[in-house]
Structure 1
Amino acid sequence: SSFLLANARIVDYPIVYCNEGFSKLTGFTRAEVMQKSCTCNFMYGEQTDAEAIQRIERCMEVCESEQQEILLYKKNKTPLWLLMYLAPIKNEKDVVILYLLTFRDITALRQPLEEDEPGRGTQAAGLSKFARLARSVTRNRSVMVQLSAGAAAAGSAGAANSATPAAAAAAAANAAARSEEAGKFEQLGTVMSLHSDVLPQYKQEAPKTPPHIILHYAAFKTTWDWIILILTGYTAVMVPFNVAFKTKTMDDVAFLVMDSIVDVVFFIDIVLNFHTTFVGPNGEVISDPSVIRVNYLKGWFVIDLLSCLPYDVFNAFQPESSEGGISSLFSALKVVRLLRIGRVARKVDQYLEYGAALLILMIFGFVMLAHWMACIWYTIGVRDLELEVWYGWIPRLANDTLTPQNWTKSSYQAVLPEKSMAYLTSLYFTLSLLTSIGFGNVAAYTEGEKAVVVVFMLLGALVYATIFGNVTTIFQQMYASRARYHEMMNSIKEFMKIHDVPRELGERVMDYVTSSWAITKGIDTTKVLNYCPKDMKADLCVHLNRKVFNEHPAFRLASDGCLRSLAMSFNTVHTAPSDLIFHQGESLDQLCFVVSGSLEVIQDDEVVAILGKGDVFGDTFWREAPLGQSAASVRALTYCDLHCIKRDSLLDVLNFYSAFSHSFARNLVLTFNLRHRLVFRKIADVRRERELAEKRKFEPPLSELSSDHPVRKLIS
């Protein structure tokens, strides 16, 4: 939509805000429209209806709403039929402080109907005229209804707002152009987060590789690596369990098939590693096939090969009762598969910088260690039974949970507790041993068990201290930002209490600090930029000020060096509602560009302008040498983001880049120049003068006063 906001308390009702829709519709920029009369007399032409103008002016004088079709002219003198709706906006004291004027282009509806085209039948031409006429009437009626509803909503929103003209102006703008203001009041993201939308985009050329070589960062290789990680986790769990509990024989076909599939996948991974690029010592991508093969053969090839040999297939064909060395050898070689865990170290190293990922890995490692220790604990118990030691933890568990039995070498296999019960008991014991000193219901009784428990205790103390010490650090890092925020807020509260800061000023300070923290997350932009070298710092500054450089034509002819010099001089200012950027009478030592939010310009307690996204305010100090004073105050209506540059810094850049200085001075248009004081009269003063003039009409002239009249005595 297209709309204007005008001050209803100043003579000629000057425009204080103009949205982008009106500028696109008429061709006038916001700076050209500001402070002109909202009657749009600057758009009158020869065929503008004088009666329509008088009706609009009369409605403004009596503060009434009006809807009027009027012919105006664009900046290029093109005629433009507009449907204008005038709506007064009142504050809670029922005083009209603003006028909202909305415009809808109805030029197409006011064009005369086309004549009958030659060659067409009379009936077809008549139907065409009727169709166009019906469409015009329907469209005209829908336009009327939409404008009436929109203006009524805007008026009610303005009436519900506070007494200040600024608040009413902001409410009117929001009600009339909700979609535009939504973009205007958008909040900025984190100032220096290391995301792709903040850092400059440096695109490198993809390395050219032979057809049979796979890039190590390709999508297929990434997916394949995750599959290998999952299968490695399966191996880390099942290999110790199978070795300890001897669960896989020829009868366990499902386990044999699953492990065979895992072995095949790991063998395929070995083949792929011979055809996958890697990063060299100098950071370059190595794609030479011969270099890749030599590097893999010298590295992880032997370990990967030993971990994927099918030991279970060989061992499954050996009878369980066999005591030969071959069976024992294959059972021991199953543990070699745990070398696959080395793949985890290679793949997850890149995720260790993230606190959540490190926490999950530590918990997983802690549980995995307890699982391995449980398998070892059960193996020690079974080994004692084979040595005819009948007072270990397994016989005690069986006697406590089952009917007491006589344990002999020939019959102990039949009275062993179920493997699920034995495993859960072992896991319970090892977890209690790692996290505490145990509870005594499962304990070590034999010499072998006690020796193993001593090792478990020493290892558990070290692992417990390492893991949970890191967990504490991770949680401290997660809440470090919140702790810094509360520390800063407590310092500010103590400062205001010590110095007896007034309550209203203290609330403004707290509001500003809270809003600034929400935008910057407590990150000091200057400190982060100082970490970078000069060239990188300039690139970041150009990116942070890209909205200013892209939106304003004054910077289009600037060279890269000029933009970098300007960007280094810009600083970002975040303001909260009611914050004053300029006070009346202050020195105009900086030029401000509005990136987001809305501000009001106040002179003599009257709102003379409302500024928004894309506006520029300050002083043309590159044309006027002496340092000027601000003739008005600038106050934030909403949370705003301003990009400002100091007077001296800008003049230094303009003096050095003389060619750019001419383009800058010619193309930069201030939306509001704070140096120039506006001359206006308030409507209340004009009405008071009229009332006094009316009273003087009924007063007798001085010559008719009696000799004893106080005025005649005073003159005489």
Structure 2
Amino acid sequence: MPVMKGLLAPQNTFLDTIATRFDGTHSNFILANAQVRCGFPIVYCSDGFCDLTGFARTEVMQKNCSCRFLYGAETSEPVLQRIEKVLDGRQEYQTEVCFYKKGGAAFWCLLDIMPIKNEKGEVVLFLFSFKDITESRGRSHLSDKKEGEPWMWDGERWRSKKPGSSHLRAARRQGRTVLHRLSSQFAQRDRSEMKINRNVFENKLSIPEYKVAAVQKSRFILLHYSIFKALWDWLILLATFYVAITVPYNVCFTGTEDNLSAARSTIVSDIAVEMLFILDIILNFRTTYVSQSGQVVYEPRSICIHYVATWFFVDLIAALPFDLLYIFNVTVTSLVHLLKTVRLLRLLRLLQKLDRYSQYSAMVLTLLMSMFALLAHWMACIWYVIGRKEMESNDPQTWDIGWLHELGKRLEAPYINSSLGGPSIRSAYIASLYFTLSSLTSVGFGNVCANTDAEKIFSICTMLIGALMHAVVFGNVTAIIQRMYSRRSLYHTRMKDLKDFIRVHRLPQQLKQRMLEYFQTTWSVNNGIDANELLHDFPDELRADVAMHLHKDILQLPVFETASRGCLRSLSLHIKTSFCAPGEYLLRQGDALQANYFVCSGSLEVLKDNVVLAILGKGDLIGADLCSTDRVIKTNADVKALTYCDLQHIGLRGLCEVLQLYPEYASKFTADIHQDLTFNLREGSEMEVGACPPSQAPSHPHSPRDQGRAGPPQSHMRGVCPPPAHTTQAPRWGLRPRRYILSWRNPRKLEARAFAEQEVDGRLGNEDGGDWGSLRDRQRGTAPLVRRRQRRGLWV
């Protein structure tokens, strides 16, 4: 059974642990970064520290953890030097020191310094704990300022403005030393008692580590969402239904001495169910649960307390082995069956499961119908008991008009007296179940009717319960069925709206067919789910991660290899998914180009004057390079879909916005984008090639034979323009998957590739006389060979 797993993400609970352990003792502490050697800045201070010192949190953060802002005239310099050495050595230290509050009042403080380590054993934080011990030291140890004596805060400590105050302070120190020696004898006992509780982190093992907390659980702890626990819950649920069916049946139909053998026939299965319930109690003491805060609890003691406080007593009563009484030959069968009715309390857990599995429509529907059938079974048992009691009452006015007596007459098995004869148990149960189901679902048919007062009262109650069940069970069933078919209903609703739109506006048949095909195909792809609307309420961080996963194909292009992760995340939020049906035009010549398109699946063709310039397939990028001078980019050809195509496109406006945020990558992107474009749709890009002299077109650079007869090297040929974008070679490994690249790097395949190149180069040389020829000849004669080589992967 699938259940709520709870919050399973690893957490760093260091701060919560510190706050919890200080709670109730003293919450005056600060945390400092031990990895920044320049001053060890304070990274956190508690509210208690702010209340103790009078400094606001903004005044404390990022200051030196040696707390120089608390120093004053009576602060011991040797102690301060010792603190500096302890910090450099990353050691533990405890001392009593005199600090000064923001208002200038002095107080004695018990200072504890403890290094905090991470999972690698490195000291990453310092924990400074402050406890006010002014009262325990006595008034004689205070260095309160005298009235009228001028004091000054110099930004680091409190200093006296009065001349010669240093000599007076020295004299006061000597006097207080004598007083301290006299009073220390009387305060020794109090101080020894205070040391027991003054440091909540006295034990070194109790100091928490600053790390992501790993799940600490025993091997004998069972996860509540594990597969074993799910299968076990199903087994216990089936056992519970078995108990809910057999216990009322045995109490009502086989609870007499005459049916003792029938009652004992199920003793083996009953004992097996009892053993399952007892074992379930043991497992529940070792099964995790989800707390109210959503955390998964693994601690055995907390698990036991939670189970005892919730379901333990219910499960214990249901697991009492009443069937063991048969072993001791207890003949009070009816009493045993009545005691076993307490097992029906386990059905309360069924209500808990209904809430847990409310998101699974089929599961809730099955459980609700099972509950309805179970209720009918219980009421059938009660209906039989009422008829049996009417027969056993020996009332001359009612015993021969009860429903059991009438049933016996119809089945030609009449009762001779109150205890002999009558229909079989099987026939009586079927008739009882028929009556209760007909009463719960309707008003009955009269073939089994209530004649006595008791039977009529029970029939009234049955009808009332049936009305309630219609409202609860069948109302939920209707809602569940509607939810199961909600997506299909939405599809039909939108399809009807589309057809109404077509009819109202009288669209032509061809346009109508295109709209219907597009709607049906896109629905089959995304099932009517709008990803942008679905992710709208999620945080930007999570939306960016999801977008990077959805659009990973286009983000793996070589042009994005040098982009930072932040740049890729920003780009992914601007990438959209589109779909194109066969025969549809993605772009037309002269249109304003709004985006660059990446072909995820399918094939398209680039047309100009009904001449095929390029055929695009999976992994091709089509669009235009960025130029700062062009405000509007016009397309130079048509792009038409040959098959059903899935496309990902990034808007040029959004692309420019992202590149403005990352100028260091923008220049490289602008320089490299034309190498990844399978076809450049910018209007005028082919004019650059048209201006080139045909006789100066370069030969193919990969053929040594052509290089030997092509004349001077390309670097020395002035004024030579590159061939058009749709005839240039594809970037090396740019548009092919990694496994394809690795396969072509195989030595055997490289050898075959070189041989194929020589063969095709020979054909090219024979056809064009060792020269590329004019642009028109190149397009007409060698373009098919070039495209074949590109498709075969010979030019990379």
Provide the residue aligned with 1:583 in structure 2: 588
Q: Could you say what secondary structure the match of 2:573 adopts? A: helix
Whether the aligned pair in 1 keeps the contact of 2:247 and 2:337 (CA below 8 Å) is no
Distance between the aligned counterparts of 1:423 and 1:444, measured in 2? 16
Pair 1:600-2:605 in alignment: yes
Provide the residue aligned with 1:563 in structure 2: 568
The offset of 1:423, in angstroms, is 0.5
Distance between the aligned counterparts of 1:310 and 1:279, measured in 2? 31
Pair 1:673-2:683 in alignment: no
The offset of 1:332, in angstroms, is 2.5
Q: Structure 1 252/451 Cα, relative in aligned 2: closer, same or farther at 3 Å? A: closer
Distance between the aligned counterparts of 1:685 and 1:242, measured in 2? 92
Provide the residue aligned with 2:363 in structure 1: 357
- Which residue, 654, 659, 665 being the options, matches 1:654? 659
Output the amino acid matched with 1:396: E
Provide the residue aligned with 1:294 in structure 2: 305
Distance between the aligned counterparts of 1:328 and 1:249, measured in 2? 10
Pair 1:526-2:532 in alignment: yes
Output the amino acid matched with 2:325: F
Provide the residue aligned with 1:243 in structure 2: 251
Pair 1:435-2:436 in alignment: no
- Which residue, 501, 505, 516 being the options, matches 1:499? 505
The offset of 1:424, in angstroms, is 0.4
Q: Structure 1 494/623 Cα, relative in aligned 2: closer, same or farther at 3 Å? A: same
Pair 1:308-2:313 in alignment: no
Once the two structures are superposed, what CA deviation does each residue of 1:245-304 show, in whole Å capped at 9, x if it has no partner? 126736754411210111111111111111111111111121211111111111111110
Provide the residue aligned with 1:256 in structure 2: 267
Distance between the aligned counterparts of 2:279 and 2:341, measured in 1? 21
Pair 1:223-2:228 in alignment: no
The offset of 1:623, in angstroms, is 6.1
Pair 1:488-2:517 in alignment: no
Once the two structures are superposed, what CA deviation does each residue of 1:564-602 show, in whole Å capped at 9, x if it has no partner? 211111111111111111110111221111111111100
Provide the residue aligned with 1:380 in structure 2: 386
Provide the residue aligned with 1:402 in structure 2: 412
Q: Structure 1 502/677 Cα, relative in aligned 2: closer, same or farther at 3 Å? A: farther
Output the amino acid matched with 1:343: R
Structure 1 residue runs of 5 or longer lacking an equivalent are 1-203, 687-716
Distance between the aligned counterparts of 2:554 and 2:427, measured in 1? 70
The offset of 1:559, in angstroms, is 2.1
Q: Which runs of structure 2 are paired with 1:626-641 in the superposition (5 Å)?
A: 626-641=631-646
Once the two structures are superposed, what CA deviation does each residue of 1:76-131 show, in whole Å capped at 9, x if it has no partner? xxxxxxxxxxxxxxxxxxxxxxxxxxxxxxxxxxxxxxxxxxxxxxxxxxxxxxxx
Once the two structures are superposed, what CA deviation does each residue of 1:172-205 show, in whole Å capped at 9, x if it has no partner? xxxxxxxxxxxxxxxxxxxxxxxxxxxxxxxx98
Output the amino acid matched with 1:463: M
Q: Structure 1 478/220 Cα, relative in aligned 2: closer, same or farther at 3 Å? A: closer
Q: Could you say what secondary structure the match of 2:599 adopts? A: strand
Q: Structure 1 292/309 Cα, relative in aligned 2: closer, same or farther at 3 Å? A: same
Provide the residue aligned with 2:21 in structure 1: none
Whether the aligned pair in 2 keeps the contact of 1:434 and 1:460 (CA below 8 Å) is yes
Provide the residue aligned with 2:63 in structure 1: none
Q: Structure 1 394/670 Cα, relative in aligned 2: closer, same or farther at 3 Å? A: same
The offset of 1:543, in angstroms, is 1.8
Once the two structures are superposed, what CA deviation does each residue of 1:494-513 show, in whole Å capped at 9, x if it has no partner? 32333332322222122111
Which range moves more in the overlay, 419-428 or 248-257? 248-257
Q: Structure 1 266/276 Cα, relative in aligned 2: closer, same or farther at 3 Å? A: same
The offset of 1:683, in angstroms, is 11
RMSD, aligned α-carbons: 2.6
The offset of 1:317, in angstroms, is 6.2
Whether the aligned pair in 1 keeps the contact of 2:593 and 2:634 (CA below 8 Å) is yes
Distance between the aligned counterparts of 2:592 and 2:493, measured in 1? 35
Higher relative contact order (CA 8 A, sep 6+): 1
Output the amino acid matched with 1:597: G
Distance between the aligned counterparts of 1:649 and 1:488, measured in 2? 31
Provide the residue aligned with 1:335 in structure 2: 341
Q: Structure 1 642/482 Cα, relative in aligned 2: closer, same or farther at 3 Å? A: same
Q: Structure 1 220/517 Cα, relative in aligned 2: closer, same or farther at 3 Å? A: closer
Distance between the aligned counterparts of 2:526 and 2:393, measured in 1? 69
Which range moves more in the overlay, 341-350 or 448-457? 341-350
Whether the aligned pair in 2 keeps the contact of 1:250 and 1:316 (CA below 8 Å) is no
Whether the aligned pair in 2 keeps the contact of 1:250 and 1:317 (CA below 8 Å) is no
Whether the aligned pair in 2 keeps the contact of 1:308 and 1:337 (CA below 8 Å) is yes
Whether the aligned pair in 2 keeps the contact of 1:315 and 1:331 (CA below 8 Å) is no
Which range moves more in the overlay, 527-536 or 366-375? 527-536
Q: Could you say what secondary structure the match of 1:249 adopts? A: helix
Q: Structure 1 362/518 Cα, relative in aligned 2: closer, same or farther at 3 Å? A: same
Q: Structure 1 383/670 Cα, relative in aligned 2: closer, same or farther at 3 Å? A: same
Distance between the aligned counterparts of 1:626 and 1:251, measured in 2? 92
- Which residue, 517, 523, 528 being the options, matches 2:523? 517
- Which residue, 271, 290, 298 being the options, matches 2:282? 271
Distance between the aligned counterparts of 1:472 and 1:278, measured in 2? 32
The offset of 1:536, in angstroms, is 2.1
- Size of the aligned set, in residue pairs, is 473
Output the amino acid matched with 1:610: I
Whether the aligned pair in 2 keeps the contact of 1:229 and 1:343 (CA below 8 Å) is no
Provide the residue aligned with 1:714 in structure 2: none
Whether the aligned pair in 2 keeps the contact of 1:249 and 1:316 (CA below 8 Å) is no
Whether the aligned pair in 1 keeps the contact of 2:415 and 2:422 (CA below 8 Å) is no
Q: Structure 1 385/250 Cα, relative in aligned 2: closer, same or farther at 3 Å? A: same
Scaled by the length of structure 1, what TM-score is found?
0.62
Distance between the aligned counterparts of 2:780 and 2:307, measured in 1? 91
The offset of 1:420, in angstroms, is 0.5
Once the two structures are superposed, what CA deviation does each residue of 1:6-27 show, in whole Å capped at 9, x if it has no partner? xxxxxxxxxxxxxxxxxxxxxx
Whether the aligned pair in 2 keeps the contact of 1:601 and 1:609 (CA below 8 Å) is yes
Which range moves more in the overlay, 274-283 or 470-479? 470-479
Q: Structure 1 672/403 Cα, relative in aligned 2: closer, same or farther at 3 Å? A: closer
Once the two structures are superposed, what CA deviation does each residue of 1:25-83 show, in whole Å capped at 9, x if it has no partner? xxxxxxxxxxxxxxxxxxxxxxxxxxxxxxxxxxxxxxxxxxxxxxxxxxxxxxxxxxx
Whether the aligned pair in 1 keeps the contact of 2:254 and 2:263 (CA below 8 Å) is no
Distance between the aligned counterparts of 1:261 and 1:303, measured in 2? 19
Q: Could you say what secondary structure the match of 1:530 adopts? A: coil
The offset of 1:607, in angstroms, is 0.9
Whether the aligned pair in 1 keeps the contact of 2:599 and 2:621 (CA below 8 Å) is yes
- Which residue, 419, 426, 429 being the options, matches 2:432? 426
Distance between the aligned counterparts of 1:402 and 1:269, measured in 2? 49
Distance between the aligned counterparts of 1:682 and 1:370, measured in 2? 88
Q: Which runs of structure 2 are paired with 1:176-215 in the superposition (5 Å)?
A: 207-215=215-223
Q: Could you say what secondary structure the match of 2:491 adopts? A: helix
The offset of 1:351, in angstroms, is 2.5
The offset of 1:631, in angstroms, is 0.8
Which range moves more in the overlay, 251-260 or 630-639? 251-260
Q: Structure 1 260/593 Cα, relative in aligned 2: closer, same or farther at 3 Å? A: same
The offset of 1:315, in angstroms, is 6.7
The offset of 1:388, in angstroms, is 2.0
Q: Structure 1 498/227 Cα, relative in aligned 2: closer, same or farther at 3 Å? A: closer
The offset of 1:622, in angstroms, is 4.4
Once the two structures are superposed, what CA deviation does each residue of 1:412-445 show, in whole Å capped at 9, x if it has no partner? 2221321101100101111111111111111111
Q: Structure 1 218/380 Cα, relative in aligned 2: closer, same or farther at 3 Å? A: same
Distance between the aligned counterparts of 1:400 and 1:447, measured in 2? 22
Distance between the aligned counterparts of 2:566 and 2:575, measured in 1? 15
Whether the aligned pair in 1 keeps the contact of 2:603 and 2:641 (CA below 8 Å) is yes
